[in-house]
Structure 1
Amino acid sequence: MISLNDYLYSGDTVLKILKKYTRDLQISAEKHQNEVDLIHSRFLKRTSDLLEHNDFLTAQSQKIREFYKYMAKEYAHLSFTFKGRIKSLIRAETKFNGYIVEFIYDYYIEHGVYPPLEELIKKLEGFRDLIAYRIVISMPKCHIRDDGEREKEEIRNLYAIANVMKDFLEKQGFRAEPAFGVKESASPLLNDSVRPYYRDYICHAKPDGYRSLHITFFDDSAKFYMEMQLRTKEMDDIAEIGSANHLGYEKRQQIERNRRDAVPEGENIYFDEAYERIRKLQELELAKVDVNMFSAADNSLINDGCGLYRGRLILPYEHLSRFQNDLID
């Protein structure tokens, strides 16, 4: 079995590592007629194309900035930030294989048999958040002092923004993708005309407290999918520095072990290989990795300008918050 870990000690750049891993995975997939690995290699090819031919990101961010300008005019009472990120190589590789492990496990537990290959392939082709932008809003306390009322007003504004964002960005050359009923919103604040396009993790909050609104667009000029996320400041804190991000290491390990115990080794090659790739990435000691332009003192202290690390690579721009301090009495 070929894994990303096999290429992280060569001293090559991330792009070279990615291309070699993609090439060898494709060759192996064709040799063994492994259709999942073929999809995996195509996913990695899209990732390398994104890193190598990223001029479109400047044009894309400028088009999204038009929505920022719209919000600055229409929501002058709010503070907000626009952020962008590309999934790092390790994070993307972990999530892709995580899709395989989770889908096969859930299907097996529910049906007592493994999923048909075509259903697994359909699941993997839904991976569309390599590029994501996030809008984080906050209602300044100078407007509403009570915490509960302020939260209600922030959520009301969040859905109001969601109601207009689809049509606005489609006029900028993006095309909204239906969510096909995944986490369909039950909120009366979301218009019926846009409801089919949003995955509502506010109505369907995750057990770890994660809440957000997600919508996927296809950029017709760049021929790439991107995801837009809408959150309040509190939701963003939970996702980035709170319970949704700091699920204990031991708890994560236990979840993975439970899945491994439920799916006997040797019964499903796709599960076995994806599980093993995740395990190897989790045990990776970044300080021992040899990648050009990458330096890590340990798994937490990392200097990386090339998209390798475990977290996110922030796009080379950030729109700053707009605070209406002039409105304070």
Structure 2
Amino acid sequence: MVTLNDYLYSGDTMFKILKNYSQDLKKEAKCTGNEIDLMHANFLLQIRELLEHNDFLTAQSQKIREFYIHMAKEYPLLAFNFKGRIKSLIRAEAKFNGYIVEYIYDYYMENKAYPSISELKQRLSCFRDLIAYRIVTSLPKCYLKPDESQEEADLRYLYQIANELPGFLEERGFTAEPACGVKKSTSPLLNDDVKPYYRDYICGNTSEDYQSLHITFYDNSSRSYMEVQLRTKHMDDIAEIGVANHLSYEKRQEGERARRDEIPVGECVYFDEAYERCRRLVTLNLADLDVNMFSAINNDLVNDGCGLYRGRLILPYEHLSRHQNELVD
């Protein structure tokens, strides 16, 4: 069994790593008849194509930028930033294999049998966030209404922007994808006509949990999917560097170990291989890796210029509120 870890110590570029890993996966899959490894290889090729042929991302990000300009005009008091990224290779690899582990486990616990290849392949065809954009907002305290808290104001603006986004992008060649009832919003601040498209991780969660609004669009020009996340600054801080980030990691590791305990080794090769690939990724010592353009002093100080550990940025914009601009002037 080949794993991503086998290619991260050669000094190769990301492109060469993706090429070699996907080719070896495909070669092994043809020898063993493993259809999931073939799908895995094609998944890696998608990432490589995004990194190599990114002309369409320039056009796509310009359309996203139009919403940034719209927000700057409509919400001059609001501070916000826009970021776009291609999912990092390590995160994408972990997610692909994590889906296999999770789906097979859930299916086994319910049916005491393993899913068919066709069922598993259908589960793995749901990736929609290899390209993702994030909008983070915050209203400066000096603009709060009387008796209005920071959280209330930030939520009011966040949901207002969420109400505008689908229609704005649909006029520019994007199609909002139904969320199919996943994390359906119960917020009175979100309009009924857009609720079917959002996965609302704010409703029902506390301020120390992961909170965000997620919506998926299909870009009709490039024929690709992308995800947009909307968060307040507090939500973004919690998700990126706070309690939610740490707890999510811990829960994920505990969950995978529990699943391994339930599925007998050797009964399902797809589960065994996916679990092992996830386990090896967790044991990576970043300071020992040798990837072109990538170096790390230790596991806390990472300089990742190639999209291995952190997503490749494709859209950085930051807007200061009118008040902050006045201070700069």
- Regarding TM over 0.5, the answer is yes
1:9 aligns with 2:13: no
Instruction: Report matched runs for 1:271-310 at 5 Å.
Output: 271-309=271-309
| Aligned partners of 1:208 and 1:247 also within 8 Å | no
Could you tell me how far apart the structure 1 residues matched to 2:9 and 2:24 are?
16
Q: Deviations over 1:22-43 (max 9, x none)?
A: 1121222233222222221111
How many residue pairs are counted as aligned between the two chains?
A: 327
Structure 1 residues 57, 327: CA separation in 2 closer, same or farther (over 3 Å shift)? Answer: closer
Q: Match of 2:209?
A: 209
State the superposition RMSD in angstroms.
2.4
Q: Match of 1:173?
A: 173
What's the CA shift for 1:149?
A: 2.8
Q: Match of 1:188?
A: 188
1:325 aligns with 2:328: no
Q: Match of 1:255?
A: 255
3-state DSSP class of the match of 1:278?
A: helix
Could you tell me how far apart the structure 1 residues matched to 2:304 and 2:42 are?
25
Q: Match of 2:311?
A: 312
What's the CA shift for 1:249?
A: 6.4
| Aligned partners of 2:14 and 2:308 also within 8 Å | yes
Which stretches in structure 1 are left out of the alignment for 5+ residues?
none
| Aligned partners of 2:207 and 2:235 also within 8 Å | no
Could you tell me how far apart the structure 2 residues matched to 1:206 and 1:150 are?
15
| Aligned partners of 2:286 and 2:298 also within 8 Å | yes
Could you tell me how far apart the structure 1 residues matched to 2:22 and 2:273 are?
16
3-state DSSP class of the match of 1:318?
A: strand
TM-score (norm 2): 0.91
Q: Deviations over 1:145-176 (max 9, x none)?
A: 78963312321221221111111111112121
**Percentage of identical aligned residues:** 63
Could you tell me how far apart the structure 2 residues matched to 1:128 and 1:326 are?
36
Q: Match of 1:228?
A: 228
What's the CA shift for 1:139?
A: 1.7
3-state DSSP class of the match of 1:135?
A: strand
Structure 1 residues 279, 262: CA separation in 2 closer, same or farther (over 3 Å shift)? Answer: same
What's the CA shift for 1:10?
A: 2.2
Instruction: Report matched runs for 1:88-167 at 5 Å.
Output: 88-144=88-144, 149-167=149-167
Could you tell me how far apart the structure 1 residues matched to 2:114 and 2:32 are?
20
Could you tell me how far apart the structure 2 residues matched to 1:283 and 1:134 are?
29
| Aligned partners of 2:184 and 2:196 also within 8 Å | yes
Higher mean Cα deviation, 283-292 or 220-229? 283-292
Amino acid corresponding to residue 129 of structure 2 in structure 1: D
3-state DSSP class of the match of 1:235?
A: helix
| Aligned partners of 2:72 and 2:319 also within 8 Å | no
Could you tell me how far apart the structure 2 residues matched to 1:190 and 1:112 are?
40
Amino acid corresponding to residue 313 of structure 1 in structure 2: R
Could you tell me how far apart the structure 2 residues matched to 1:128 and 1:201 are?
17
Could you tell me how far apart the structure 1 residues matched to 2:16 and 2:325 are?
52
Structure 1 residues 204, 219: CA separation in 2 closer, same or farther (over 3 Å shift)? Answer: farther
Q: Match of 1:70?
A: 70
3-state DSSP class of the match of 2:81?
A: strand
Could you tell me how far apart the structure 1 residues matched to 2:263 and 2:81 are?
43
Structure 1 residues 247, 221: CA separation in 2 closer, same or farther (over 3 Å shift)? Answer: same
3-state DSSP class of the match of 1:136?
A: strand
| Aligned partners of 2:177 and 2:197 also within 8 Å | yes
Amino acid corresponding to residue 314 of structure 1 in structure 2: L
Q: Deviations over 1:304-323 (max 9, x none)?
A: 211112x33322x4211322
| Aligned partners of 2:77 and 2:323 also within 8 Å | no
